[in-house]
């Protein structure tokens, strides 16, 4: 088997795994509701892969909004159960990592959780670095939630899911500000064995679209100008042209 072809196959399986993570919440009796943003776009923005030949390296920042969408049930006002889950998970910044080496026949040798943990740091916009929290710094309820993840990941994606390691960091930095806020301006980097994966904030999927008032073209919410014409964008879609009068 061609190792590059195998690498693409594994990446596709990883993407399918991420989209399927919502199924985790079946365990707690909750399911996806109609989220107020494009979930697929959020996944595309928060998943990053290394393009280094012979490696299968993937980093996924799981922002609070993903968990909120996953924990929302049919009651728009929420529930005591989902509120309790969000309170627990809101204490942490979630970074998921898969790191492996492709062999000559396309097999993957994955790094252990310990090796991954020791090679990952999170660097905030001020350049301050944070290591993953030790188990002793994670509360008991959160440890139970993490234990639920692993067998489900394995069932969904086999060895790939088994080697998907979720690392927890503090929700706020040393300055008291959120380390990773999908709706705020800023940036942060996930550093894995010297490779940096940068996240520029806010995420476009968290913002309403912007429009070219002259043409009606729609652009991501992070755009201020039409990249082709340089026209300043507006927040409101222009009205549709009136239909032609009958002859």
Q: What element of type H or E holds 56? A: strand 55-62
- Token digits of residue 48: 């990053």
The structural domain count of the chain equals 2
* Three-state SS at 75: coil
pTM: 0.78
Q: 108 and 155 share a domain? A: yes
Give the mean model confidence (pLDDT) for residues 159-164: 86
Q: 146 and 214 share a domain? A: no
CA distance 64 to 45: 14
Per mean pLDDT, which range of 62-76, 102-116, 141-155, 166-180 is the poorest?
62-76
Q: How far is CA 184 from CA 17, 118, 203, in A?
A: 28, 29, 8
> Where does the pLDDT of residue 145 fall: very low under 50, low under 70, confident under 90, or very high at 90 and above?
confident
HSE (CB half, 13 Å, CA atoms) of 131?
10
Q: 27 and 110 share a domain? A: yes
Per mean pLDDT, which range of 20-24, 51-55, 136-140, 151-155 is the poorest?
20-24
- Token digits of residue 26: 């079946």
Give the mean model confidence (pLDDT) for residues 137-160: 84
> What is the model's pLDDT at position 96?
93
Q: 112 and 25 share a domain? A: yes
Q: 142 and 172 share a domain? A: yes
Q: 50 and 119 share a domain? A: yes
Q: 141 and 154 share a domain? A: yes
Q: Which residue has the higher pLDDT, 14 or 135?
A: 135
- Token digits of residue 210: 């912007």
Q: 30 and 92 share a domain? A: yes
Highest averaged pLDDT of the listed ranges 11-25, 78-92, 128-142, 147-161: 128-142
> What is the model's pLDDT at position 151?
82
> pLDDT per residue over 8-33, tens digit each?
554 454 444 444 444 443 333 334 44
Question: Domain limits at 240?
Answer: 208-247
> Where does the pLDDT of residue 5 fall: very low under 50, low under 70, confident under 90, or very high at 90 and above?
low
Residue 4 reports pLDDT greater than 70: no
> What is the model's pLDDT at position 27?
35
> What is the model's pLDDT at position 165?
93
Number of other residues whose CB lies within 10 A of the CB of residue 212: 20
> What is the model's pLDDT at position 25?
37
CA distance 87 to 148: 18
Q: 229 and 121 share a domain? A: no
> What is the model's pLDDT at position 30?
38
Residue 45 reports pLDDT greater than 80: yes
Number of residues that this document lists for the chain: 247
Q: 167 and 218 share a domain? A: no
Q: 195 and 80 share a domain? A: yes
CA distance 24 to 11: 21
Q: 69 and 190 share a domain? A: yes
- Token digits of residue 52: 């280094």
């Amino acid at each position: 088997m061609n190792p590059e072809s195998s690498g693409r196959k594994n990446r596709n399986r990883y993407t399918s795994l991420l989209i399927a993570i919502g199924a985790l919440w079946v365990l707690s009796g909750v399911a996806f509701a109609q989220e107020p943003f494009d979930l697929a776009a959020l996944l595309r923005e928060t998943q990053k892969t290394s393009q280094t030949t012979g490696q299968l390296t993937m980093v996924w920042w799981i922002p609070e909004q993903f968990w909120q969408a996953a924990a929302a049930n049919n009651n728009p006002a929420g529930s005591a159960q989902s509120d309790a889950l969000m309170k627990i998970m809101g204490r942490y910044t979630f970074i998921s990592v898969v790191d492996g080496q492709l062999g000559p026949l396309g097999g993957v040798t994955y790094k252990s959780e310990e090796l991954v943990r020791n090679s990952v740091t999170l660097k905030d916009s001020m350049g301050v670095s944070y290591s993953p929290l030790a188990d002793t710094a994670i509360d008991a309820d959160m440890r139970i939630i993490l234990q639920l993840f692993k067998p489900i990941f394995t069932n969904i994606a086999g060895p790939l899911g088994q080697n998907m390691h979720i690392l927890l960091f503090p929700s706020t930095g040393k300055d008291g500000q959120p380390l990773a806020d999908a709706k705020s301006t800023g940036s942060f980097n996930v550093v894995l064995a010297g490779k940096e994966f940068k996240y520029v904030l806010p995420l476009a999927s968290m913002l309403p679209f912007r429009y070219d008032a002259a043409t009606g073209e729609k652009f991501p919410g992070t755009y201020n100008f039409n990249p082709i014409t340089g026209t300043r964008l507006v927040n409101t879609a222009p009205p549709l042209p009136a239909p032609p009068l009958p002859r």
